Amino acid sequence: MEKKVESFFSEKVSIFVLLLVSTLTIIFASKIYTYEAILSLQDASNYISLAENPINYFTVPHQDALRILPSIFIYLLKFSGLSTDNCFKFLTFILFIYLHLKTFFLLKTYGIKNYLALSTIAILFYSSHSVIYTVFNYYQLLDLLTYILIIYFFQLNKKHNLKILFFVSLISIFTKEYLLILVCATYLKYFINYKKMNIVLSLLFILLIFTIHYKLASSHNLDLKAGSNIIFMINSFFGSLDLFIKSIIDALIVEKNIFLFMPFSLLILSRSFIKILINNYAIVLFAIVPLGFSILLFQNVGNNFFRVFYHGYFIILLLSILFLNKIIINDEISKILFFISPTFFIIDFIFILQNINQDGFFYFFQETRYNYFSGYFIFNLIIIFIILKNFRNIFLKIQKVI
């Protein structure tokens, strides 16, 4: 059976499936959710302001100014005659489809078979609302661009290419400021591996550009307050141990966000998987930042927890799936089970289409699906079964790292 499935899902068929699924997601998202203009004024007003006039870079709040690149793309796209709203919408939809294709070809470089790559993408993008949320809220274009950049950093950590690293790094520092950690960590890995001076010079140039960018952003804003500074928030937060503990409890237990880490978090008990995390330290170091920020500073992220944490967990999840695919490479039953596991998400999406409208999409992924035997639960059970079936190879043997 496995050979028949593998034979059917050629590269062309797989690409067609990705195009079809991503396009249907966009169509159905538009069907069940109408973006509210008033929400954009509350949640993305500064991104819109930058897209309308990039000169506002000097006056909008500092964090938003640092993330100017997506808005610059929109500003340039507006010369086509499209409205700002439609520019955000269409560019988000295009990049959403591109993310599927880029991830597929990345997985192929790891030797993942086409049909297993399709399941991996389904798990990465459809097991939670973190990625597909950008289709519903297209003004969060920078979140989508961040995932694409993370995929590029996976590629760059796998295969050395200093020219592409420099270009991707430039895009990163103007997209989300904390991507600088991923940039620096990747350059560090390059230098440790190759010890060439041009690597250091390239990094220094990136740091110089970021420093100038950091100083110029919001430089004409006279209303900046220390309380809006991330470092200030972190320092004030760690001044209270009670707040620290409360944040962890609220983030993981009260809000049930601990379920978002299942079922692949079980692999953290594997020595082989720990070696993979260490071997990929450049991207894992970055993953710790959004994960730590969302859990330890939960009071500051609130309902945006799922967006912030997934920028980090996305990396851990992808490494987990790459590891699991390596483990089950000679186990036909496990491969078939892994292949069909995300199909049970269809149950949940049918429920969404029939019952959910507007803000109900968020509450379904946050609460509703945990209150009945949803497709997500079935998926978890299948993956846990695969892990248990391959218990010896996962937990007792030391496997070659990715």
| Alpha helices per DSSP H over 53-128 | 62-66, 69-77, 84-109, 114-126
pTM of the shown model: 0.91
242 compared with 397, residue with greater pLDDT: 397
The rounded radius of gyration (Å) of the Cα atoms in the chain is: 21
pLDDT at residue 124 in the model: 96
pLDDT tens digits, 88-97: 999 999 999 9
Which pLDDT band holds residue 224 (cuts at 50, 70, 90)? low
Cβ contact 107:326 at 8 Å? no
Cβ contact 118:105 at 8 Å? no
113 compared with 293, residue with greater pLDDT: 113
Average pLDDT, rounded, for the chain: 88
pLDDT tens digits, 313-353: 999 999 999 999 999 998 999 999 999 999 999 999 888 88
Separation between Cα atoms, residue 140 and residue 280, nearest integer Å: 28
Question: CA nearest 106: which of 93, 124, 92, 90?
Answer: 124
Long-range Cβ contacts of 243-248 (<8 Å, 24+ apart): 243/299, 244/296, 247/295, 247/296, 247/297, 247/298, 247/299, 248/295, 248/296, 248/298
Question: CA nearest 177: which of 206, 139, 134?
Answer: 206
pLDDT at residue 222 in the model: 64
Instruction: Count CB atoms within 10 A of the CB of residue 392.
Output: 9
Cβ contact 283:150 at 8 Å? yes
Separation between Cα atoms, residue 51 and residue 75, nearest integer Å: 5
For 286, what's the count of Cα atoms within 13 Å in the CB-facing half-sphere? 28
Which pLDDT band holds residue 223 (cuts at 50, 70, 90)? low
pLDDT at 227 over 50: no
